[in-house]
Amino acid sequence: MEIKLKLNGRNITGYIEPGTLLIDFLREQGCHSVKRGCETANCGLCTVLMDGTPILSCSTLAARAAGHSVQTLEGLQEEASEFVGFIADQGADQCGFCNPGFVMNTIALLRENPDPTDEEIRAFLAGNLCRCSGYGGQLRGILAYLESRET
């Protein structure tokens, strides 16, 4: 089956089987920041933005993305570069496996709420699994980034 969508700002046409998951389609398109972690939609590693809203690509059929705009970390490098260093400075990227999911959700959060509270950040990032850092570093990094924008 043919699907057409906008991927990272460019129109693409792809061919899929009816049960193809969006994560598999995106990885076939070269979007390797989209990672498979838990296979149960619980870890957030496969997070992408569809029409600006974070979704889990491991539990979304590729056919549902037809006619929509999908963004992966590959298409958001400039926006991500604004704050990802702050997260790294807090030691929150020990193995780095969870980073794309955290970055995608942080971008969505800051677009929706440019000045979130600690609790709002925690709530928005709650679906991201990180086994290395305990989440404190990600929170401190985001808060440091927000503080740097104020000065």
Report d(CA 138, CA 36) in Å as an integer. Answer: 21
- Listing DSSP states for the chain in one string gives -EEEEEETTEEEEEE--TT-BHHHHHHHTT-TTS---SSSS-S-TTEEEETTEEEEGGGSBGGGGTTSEEE-GGG-HHHHHTTHHHHHHTT--SS-TTHHHHHHHHHHHHHH-SS--HHHHHHHHTT---SSS-SHHHHHHHHHHHHHHH-
Q: Return the CA Rg of the chain.
A: 15
Residues in the chain, pLDDT under 70: 93, 133-134, 151
Domains of the chain: 2-75 (3.10.20.30), 77-150 (1.10.150.120)
Q: Indicate the pTM of the whole model.
A: 0.89
Taking a C-beta distance cutoff of 8 angstroms, is the pair 61, 20 a contact?
yes
| pLDDT 10s digits, 25-47 | 999 999 999 988 877 878 888 99
Report d(CA 124, CA 121) in Å as an integer. Answer: 5
pLDDT value, residue 151: 67
